[in-house]
Amino acid sequence: MSAAENRSEDIAHEIALVREVAKLDDGDEVTFDDEGWDSRAYIVNRGEAVFKFPRTAAAQAAYPGAIATLRLIGGGDGTVRVPAVRWIGSGYSYFGCVGVVGRQLGHVQAQLEESQLERIGTDLGAFLAWLHRLTLPDARVVTVADEIAMFVRNYAAALPAIEQRFTVGELAELERFMADELPETMRGLGSEPRLCHGDLGPYNLVLADDGHIGVIDFGDMGVFDQSKDFIGFEGATMLDAALAAYGDTPTLRAKVDIRARALPILDLPFLISKGDERAVDACVDRLRGALPTHDRRV
Tens digits of per-residue pLDDT, 155-198? 999 999 999 999 999 999 999 999 999 999 999 999 999 999 99
Say yes or no: 113 and 129 in one domain.
yes
Kindly state whether residue 295 falls inside one of the protein's structural domains: no
Kindly state whether residues 95 and 186 are assigned to the same domain: no
Whether 229 maps to a domain, the answer reads: yes
Q: Which residues of 270-295 are buried (b: 16+ CB within 10 A; e: fewer)?
A: bbbeeeeeeebeebbebbbbbbeeee
Average pLDDT, rounded, for the chain: 91
Same domain, 118 and 93: no
Report whether pLDDT(200) > 90. Answer: yes
Q: What is the CATH number of the domain that holds 32?
A: 3.30.200.20
* Residue that finishes a domain, picked among 56, 84, 99: 99
At residue 126, the pLDDT reads 97
Query: What pLDDT was estimated at residue 229?
Result: 98
- List the single range of 66-75, 99-108, 143-152, 246-255 with lowest mean pLDDT: 66-75
Q: Is 94 found in the same domain as 108?
A: no
Sign of the C-alpha dihedral computed for residues 87, 89, 92 and 96 taken in this order = negative
* Whether residue 148 sits in one domain with residue 19: no
Number of domains in the chain: 2
Q: Which structural domain, as residue segments, surrounds residue 23?
A: 3-99
Q: Do 120 and 82 fall within a single domain? A: no
Q: Residues 181, 255: one domain?
A: yes
Q: Is residue 262 part of a domain?
A: yes
Domain membership of residue 196 (yes or no) is: yes
Q: Please determine, for residue 6, whether its predicted confidence score (pLDDT) is greater than 60.
A: no
Q: Has residue 122 been placed in a domain?
A: yes
Measuring CA to CA, which residue among 205, 229, 263, 241 is closest to residue 132? 229
Rg (CA), the chain: 19
Work out whether strand 30-33 and strand 39-44 pair parallel, antiparallel, or are unpaired: antiparallel
Find residue 87's DSSP bridge partners.
Answer: 96
Nearest to 269 by CA among 287, 290, 291, 288: 287
Q: Report the CATH number that the domain containing residue 237 is assigned in CATH.
A: 3.90.1200.10
Same domain, 123 and 26: no
pTM equals: 0.86
SS (H, E, C) the chain: CCHHHHHHHHHHHHHHHHHHHCCCCCCCCEEEECCCCCEEEEEEHHHCEEEEEECCHHHHHHHHHHHHHHHHHCCECCCCECCEEEEECHHHCCEEEECCCEEEHHHHHHHCCHHHHHHHHHHHHHHHHHHCCCCCCCCCECCHHHHHHHHHHHHHHHHHHHHHHCCHHHHHHHHHHHHHHHHHHHHHHCCCEEEECCCCCHHHEEEECCCCEEECCCCCCEEEEHHHHHCCCCCHHHHHHHHHHHCCCHHHHHHHHHHHHHHHHHHHHHHHHHCCHHHHHHHHHHHHHHCCCCCCCC
Same domain, 63 and 190: no
In a domain, 298, yes or no: no
Domain boundary among 99, 121, 153: 99
- Please check whether residue 168 lies inside any domain of the structure: yes
Q: pLDDT confidence of 296, banded at 50, 70, 90?
A: very low
Q: Do 241 and 144 fall into the same domain?
A: yes
pLDDT of residue 234: 85
Residues 84 and 68 in one domain: yes
Give the pLDDT confidence score for residue 5 in this predicted structure: 52
Could you tell me if 153 and 61 lie in one domain?
no
Boundary-marking domain end, from 99, 129, 146: 99
Flag whether 297 is in a domain: no
Q: Strand 84-88 vs strand 95-98: parallel, antiparallel, or unpaired? A: antiparallel
